Amino acid sequence: MSKFDLIIKGGRVATAADVFHADIGIKDGRVAALADALDGADRVIDAAGATITPGGIDGHCHLDQPSLDGSVCADDFTSGTRSAAAGGTTTVIPFALQMRGHSLKEAVDDYHQRSDGKALVDYAFHLIVTDATPQVCGQELPALLQDGYSSLKIYMTYDDLKLDDGQILDVLAVARRYQGMVMIHAENSECITWLTDKLEQAGKLAPKYHATSRPGPVEREATHRAITLAELIDVPILIVHVSSELAVQEIQRAQRRGLKIYGETCPQYLFLTEDDLDKPGFEGAKCICSPPPRNKENQQVIWDGLVNGTFQVLSSDHAPSRYNDPQGKMLQGTDASFRIVPNGIPGIETRLPLMFSEGVGKGRIDLQTFVALTAANTAKIYGLYPRKGTIAIGSDADIVIWDDEKEVTITNDILHHNVDYTPYEGIELTGWPRTVLSRGNVVVEDGEVVGEPGHGQFLPCDPPEKAMPLGRPVIDFQPT
């Protein structure tokens, strides 16, 4: 019997801490050895000259998520994870959404049914709490947080999803007690509704007005309030999909004060601007997401935030709606108000290549920061580290071997999602995943997806505290 199932030879290995040259020996799906030179394997992959990174972890993506507006999430666990794998992502964390009036446990059971046997790569679930009843806060949420579902998202906007401040405090207190990680969508709902009403009354319905209805101060106010609520309860939170300088300033101020406020941003805030919502006809709908892309100055601040440590996580927020589809962006035709266009853009496959090329390749971030933002920190914050997010002895062999010099122009027909467009059409990149391993299995070979649905396993998550000490006592919230 061979010592290893597989050896990856001669690559330049990057983790969040180091970049070094080593062979990687893989046995039973895990990294078994890292050394100058290894021998004795059933299979050897020659990676001479190639960069090798841990498989990406997409800590924010929407797959087969039910919606209430009649739109349909274009990717299920098969198409979504096929697309993820092709782009070098080997773990995805989508959302089990609680419908109001229904139990949270029911949402989790339903989501397991949607994912069982379908994924090509491993996955965990975040919860979305939309109905913070005493039953949910007193029983269901505590039980789930202790049973492998250690993170949850709450919304401050969207009528069907949002919690008020009191409900948010209730949820944060439970998260404190059971060490959950709370992700917050921070936009001021009342301001958005007021501005949207005014825009519609003035006949301003086109996609570009989506950005007008959600300007920076709307995000700033909610970010400030979310931080205040977290400070009251003394619990860490993560502000998701941060788009603007105003929100960045709030997060930085809180971080400087020593609060455990984490930040996530996404490629759309680095590569798109509000001008993309002003494309001819209805085309701008392709880039409607919330918060909206801003201007070039804000883009720069978001890039800076990746470098200066404001952001710990870079996720895709892949929220796939087809464009030319009555169950997608054209839900009510092309004359419809921006208000009823499904929010969200696809990006699960392009996240890593965009950052590898335009971040690392252009010298904006180093390789270690790339790994930290796209894999290691995500694993730590959501309780998957060091099983995921690094290349170390004992870690799952989730690995990307890059074709460092490959020149690729992004077009939708090279992508594997079930969406009929990409907002990144025409962007020219250098570097693309050549070979991708999930637990030692080759799921992408020479750029072709060869993985099968059913290989991907559900990953129970530890409380983040276990992977990354967050420095807070595990006690109930008590007013002093």
Name residue 219's amino acid: E
User: Closest separation between CB of residue 241 and ligand URP, Å?
Assistant: 6
- Cβ closest to ligand URP, residue 265 vs residue 390: 265
CB nearer ligand URP, residue 150 or residue 321: 321
Helices first, then strands: H and E counts in the chain: 15, 19
Provide CB contacts within 8 A for 11, sequence distance 6+. 21, 22, 23, 24, 47, 48, 49, 50, 51, 52, 401
- Assess contact for 447 and 432: CB atoms under 8 A: yes
Residues that bind ligand URP (CB under 6 A): 62, 185, 241, 289-290, 317, 319, 343-344
By beta-carbon proximity to Zn ion, the closer residue of 386 and 423 is 423
Shortest approach of Zn ion to residue 351 CB, angstroms? 13
Question: Do the Cβ atoms of 376 and 15 come closer than 8 Å?
Answer: yes
Show the CA angle centred on residue 171, arms to residues 165 and 177, nearest 5°. 135
Residue 97 or 360: which CB sits closer to Zn ion? 97
| Interatomic CA distance for residues 473 and 116, integer angstroms | 36
| 244: partner contacted, choices Zn ion, ligand URP, none (Cβ within 5-8 A by kind) | none
289 vs 376, which CB is nearer to Zn ion? 289
Residue 476: CB partners within 8 Å, gap ≥ 6? 173, 176, 177
286 binds, among ligand URP, Zn ion, none (CB under 5 to 8 A by kind): none
> Where do contacts with Zn ion occur on this chain (CB under 5 A)?
185, 317
375 binds, among Zn ion, ligand URP, none (CB under 5 to 8 A by kind): none
Report, in Å, the least distance between residue 277 CB and Zn ion.
17
For CA atoms 68, 203, 292, 256, give the dihedral sign: negative
Considering the complex, what minimum distance in angstroms separates the CB of residue 317 from Zn ion? Answer: 4
Cα–Cα distance, 59 to 16 (Å, whole number) = 16
Nearest residue to Zn ion on Cβ basis: 185
Q: What's the closest the beta carbon of residue 177 comes to ligand URP, in angstroms?
A: 26
Give min distance, CB of 292 to Zn ion, in A.
12
Of 368 and 418, nearer to ligand URP (C-beta) is: 418
Give the tokens for residue 135.
């039953």
Looking at the Cβ atoms of 8 and 61, the one nearer to ligand URP is 61
Angle formed at CA 236 by CA 115 and CA 107, multiple of 5 degrees: 25
* Cross-strand partners of 239: 184, 263
In the complex, the smallest distance separating the C-beta of residue 185 from ligand URP, rounded to whole angstroms, is 5
Interacting partner of 343 out of Zn ion, ligand URP, none (Cβ under 5 to 8 A depending on kind): ligand URP
Question: What sign results for the dihedral spanned by CA atoms 219, 158, 161, 118?
Answer: negative
Q: Shortest Cβ distance from residue 274 to ligand URP (Å)?
A: 14
Nearer to ligand URP, 75 or 317 (CB): 317
Residue 372 site contact among ligand URP, Zn ion, none (CB < 5 to 8 Å, cut-off depends on kind): none
* Partner touching 381 among ligand URP, Zn ion, none, CB below 5 to 8 Å by kind: none
How many angstroms separate the CA atoms of 353 and 330, rounded? Answer: 29
Residues constituting the chain:
480
289 binds, among Zn ion, ligand URP, none (CB under 5 to 8 A by kind): ligand URP
| CA–CA gap between residue 408 and residue 447 (Å, rounded) | 12
Q: Give which of ligand URP, Zn ion, none residue 456 binds (C-beta under 5 to 8 Å, depending on kind).
A: none
